[in-house]
Amino acid sequence: MLKDMLKPCSRAIVVIAMTAMTLAAQAPDPDKPNVAEHQIEQSNTERLEVHKSHDVELVEIWKKVDGARVKTWSTTEGGPYEVTGQSSQQTSIRKSDGSDFVEGDEYRFVIKPTDSQGNSTEIEKVSEHSQ
């Protein structure tokens, strides 16, 4: 009897969990000025730089994997990148394992939408750098 009473609860928990995972997995809108997409154009790219209109943090990095966007780094969760220059208009990104970014891979970068004074922010460009 207890087992029968728990079935609707367990279904509800599964639905809630699936909804939360779906919402969390949605990549940010590339049409917003604080979001930029970039496809790696050259092999041997060891560092990416995100050029920003204001001194704001890069907050997320998403990578396209098998046709879907996957969050690979965030300020709260970390990830496989070394991110420097967070409090400046230029943030540098390197892979933590020292490997290069792969030509053709697609990334989406997200910065804070406003600075400390409430000004709207924008990603001006993403540049690639090799040795």
Asked whether residue 46 is assigned to any structural domain, the reply reads: yes
Asked whether residue 122 is assigned to any structural domain, the reply reads: yes
Q: How big is the CA angle at 103 (ends 74 and 92), to the nearest 5 degrees?
A: 40
40: Cβ contacts below 8 Å, ≥ 6 apart: 101, 102, 103, 104, 105, 106, 107, 128
Q: Report the pLDDT averaged over residues 12-35.
A: 63
Asked whether residue 14 is assigned to any structural domain, the reply reads: no
CB 131 within 8 A of CB 44: yes
User: pLDDT digits over 87-103, tens only?
Assistant: 899 999 999 999 999 99
Asked whether residue 97 is assigned to any structural domain, the reply reads: yes
User: pLDDT digits over 58-83, tens only?
Assistant: 999 999 999 999 999 999 999 999 99
**Number of structural domains, the chain?**
1
Q: How big is the CA angle at 111 (ends 118 and 49), to the nearest 5 degrees?
A: 130
Residue 130 has pLDDT above 80, yes or no: yes
The 10 Å Cβ neighbour count of residue 88 is: 13
Asked whether residue 21 is assigned to any structural domain, the reply reads: no
Q: What's the rounded Cα separation, in Å, for the pair 11 and 15?
A: 6
Asked whether residue 23 is assigned to any structural domain, the reply reads: no
Asked whether residue 19 is assigned to any structural domain, the reply reads: no
Q: How far is CA 41 from CA 48, 104, 105, 106, 111, in A?
A: 11, 6, 8, 10, 22
Asked whether residue 105 is assigned to any structural domain, the reply reads: yes
pLDDT for residue 17:
45
Domain interval for residue 102: 29-129
Q: What's the rounded Cα separation, in Å, for the pair 112 and 53?
A: 11
